[in-house]
Structure 1
Amino acid sequence: MEKNWSQLQILTNPENFELVTNALIIQQITGIENLNHDRGLAIYLPSEQLTKDWCHQLQITLNQLGLTDSAYQLQIIANVNMHWGQNWAPYYQPVRISHFMSIIPSWQKDLVQSPYDILMDPQESFGSGEHATTKLCLQALEEVVNHQESLIDVGTGTGILAIAAAKLGVKTLYGYDISDEAIVVAQKNFNLNCPQEKFQVAVNSLLDNITNSAEIITANMLEEPIRALIPQLAPHLKANGHVIISGILETKIANITQLLKQEHLAIIKISAAQGWGCIIAQKERG
């Protein structure tokens, strides 16, 4: 049975778009559309998910980030025609990550120019990899990967970080996510890009009950699960292993770095873009 979808419009001035986008991502929304004439932003959700409680939580998040109630208006359009390929495909164009890596929509294969380019089949639930946190993680991977053999991607989502790692030469790849749907999407995207490689992907909450260890652990998630994950990192890292963490608001980086240091993870580099931060840390010699 086909889902009923609703559109939520956040009507506000363009100078508030970045803040509203951050609030939506905190609410775990990544497919965000600009309304015509820059009237505001819009998202699509299954009608049963777009409840008064959901909207109220979004308002709380917006207020916490500094947007007053008078600066925006929420408007719900019920029973919209939501066909992913027709509605969203025209909005996606190649995204340059570095001088030799780009994210390219899967229907634009002819634009692939580098063996490091990543084809993605964007999904309304998991985004296309365009967000600043994904770019920061990919750039961090380019810096960190240097003949390492293994990587664990926690909260794998689209699988984009595992795909990038495979293209950079990492051979043993594990991915975990709490969503059954994410696992299917991640495996599909990985097979599209790296059909000769193996990606061991499974439903799991963080690293609970996981016995694998790796030389690199990536986690592009929201602050709350990042905080829960931090005590699990060092036990799952091989000697001198690296951690790449993003999904953290730039204003919260100091708090997260302190937690990492308490777990004997030395901070190697901090980067930021569009209000979001990314941390590279390394397991201290024990």
Structure 2
Amino acid sequence: MPWLQIKIPTLPKYTEVLEDAMLLAGCKAVTLIDTEDQPVFEPIRGTTPLWEHTTLQGLFDEDTDAEQLVDTLNQLIAAEKMHVGTVSAEILEDKDWEREWMDNFQPIACGDRLWIVPSWREAPDQNAVNLKLDPGLAFGTGTHPTTFLCLKWLNDHVKGGEKVLDYGCGSGILGLSALLLGAEQMDGIDIDPQAITATENNANTNNLSPSLFRVTTDVETLAESYDVVVANILAGPLCDMAEAICQRLNADAPLVLSGILSHQASSVVDAYERWISFDPVEELDGWVRLSGRKRQPKGFK
């Protein structure tokens, strides 16, 4: 069904009051978007950063009195002496958003062997290594540069027989791709239980035996060490967990890190260089992939 959409260009300090006002007026959903297309980089822990100029979008039932609603919001803005832009209202025609997303998710070639193929589409190359994927509620489709860079590394370096740890597995896209490329075993870990479900479902879609993979939220259940560790998360957590991640690597085993913005690469390298000898940085659309091999530094346990 169509919706009435209200937009209010504002500043971060006013968003909470305006959001509460819209919800009290019957708003079904509030979204905060960037008014001026400015990036917000990885936040400080415990904070929720907003753009300098933020727009609130609220969806109301189509039969809501738009004129009265706008007037009520303007009265609040005036009473609170808020400096905001013009409050606007428009009818937003309903769409099948799930279908639109599905139509836009196309097969992706990740090198000379590996394709990521939406589970509802035919594989372009039946002779390739095709991971049939339905991400569900978990992150990871291969379209984001961080995921694509990791998939490309797996395509180029998995030779067969490896035991792989996918740290922050999301949809399972990295670890399951490694299995299809010939890895012997994959363990995936994620703090989100939905990621566990998504990985298991995607493994089943690709007819991967449960004996080949294990996914968990408990780091204590992981094996002591692996032949390959790949972690596509964020720079902050990667730095925090550097020693714990490196302890999971066999001697001279490769490590692949992503989810890192270009300006964060040096900080992540600094956090890992005690244990890892890094390859040249790979960059795509402002994101980087770091890869290297474990060395045995003095004092490492």
TM-score range, shorter chain: 0.7 to 0.9
Write out per-residue CA displacement over residues 199-258 of structure 1, whole angstroms, 9 at most, x where no aligned residue: 111113xx4564431010010001222112211123211121111000011111011111
Tell me how far apart the structure 2 counterparts of residues 5 and 226 of structure 1 sit (CA, whole Å): 36
Alignment of 1:1-286 (within 5 A): 6=29, 8=31, 10=33, 12=35, 16=37, 20=39, 26=42, 57-59=48-50, 62=51, 68-69=52-53, 73-77=55-59, 85-196=98-209, 198-204=212-218, 207=219, 210-262=222-274, 264-285=275-296
SS of aligned partner of 2:139? coil
TM score, norm. by length of structure 1: 0.72
Q: 1:117 to 1:211 in 2, by over 3 A?
A: closer
Q: Is the 8 A contact 2:142 2:151 kept in 1?
A: no
Shift of 1:58: 4.1
SS of aligned partner of 1:212? coil
Tell me how far apart the structure 1 counterparts of residues 56 and 220 of structure 2 sit (CA, whole Å): 38
Give the share of equivalent positions with the same residue, in percent: 25
SS of aligned partner of 1:174? strand
Q: 1:110 to 1:214 in 2, by over 3 A?
A: closer
Tell me how far apart the structure 2 counterparts of residues 248 and 78 of structure 1 sit (CA, whole Å): 37
Tell me how far apart the structure 2 counterparts of residues 209 and 124 of structure 1 sit (CA, whole Å): 24
Moved more, 108-117 or 73-82: 73-82
Q: 1:279 to 1:73 in 2, by over 3 A?
A: same
Q: 1:84 to 1:145 in 2, by over 3 A?
A: same
Letter in 2 for 1:226: L
Could you say which structure has the higher helix fraction? 1
Quick check: which has more Rg, 1 or 2?
2
Tell me how far apart the structure 2 counterparts of residues 240 and 5 of structure 1 sit (CA, whole Å): 54
Q: Is the 8 A contact 1:122 1:128 kept in 2?
A: yes
2:3 corresponds to: none
SS of aligned partner of 1:217? strand
Letter in 1 for 2:235: E
Tell me how far apart the structure 2 counterparts of residues 87 and 5 of structure 1 sit (CA, whole Å): 21
Where structure 1 has 5 or more consecutive residues not aligned to the other structure, the ranges are 28-53, 63-67
Letter in 2 for 1:272: E
Tell me how far apart the structure 1 counterparts of residues 223 and 140 of structure 2 sit (CA, whole Å): 30
Q: 1:102 to 1:76 in 2, by over 3 A?
A: farther
Shift of 1:283: 0.7
Could you say which structure has the higher strand fraction? 1
Shift of 1:9: 6.0
Tell me how far apart the structure 1 counterparts of residues 232 and 28 of structure 2 sit (CA, whole Å): 27
Letter in 2 for 1:203: T
Shift of 1:168: 1.5
Tell me how far apart the structure 2 counterparts of residues 219 and 187 of structure 1 sit (CA, whole Å): 18
CA RMSD, aligned part only?
Answer: 3.0
SS of aligned partner of 2:281? strand
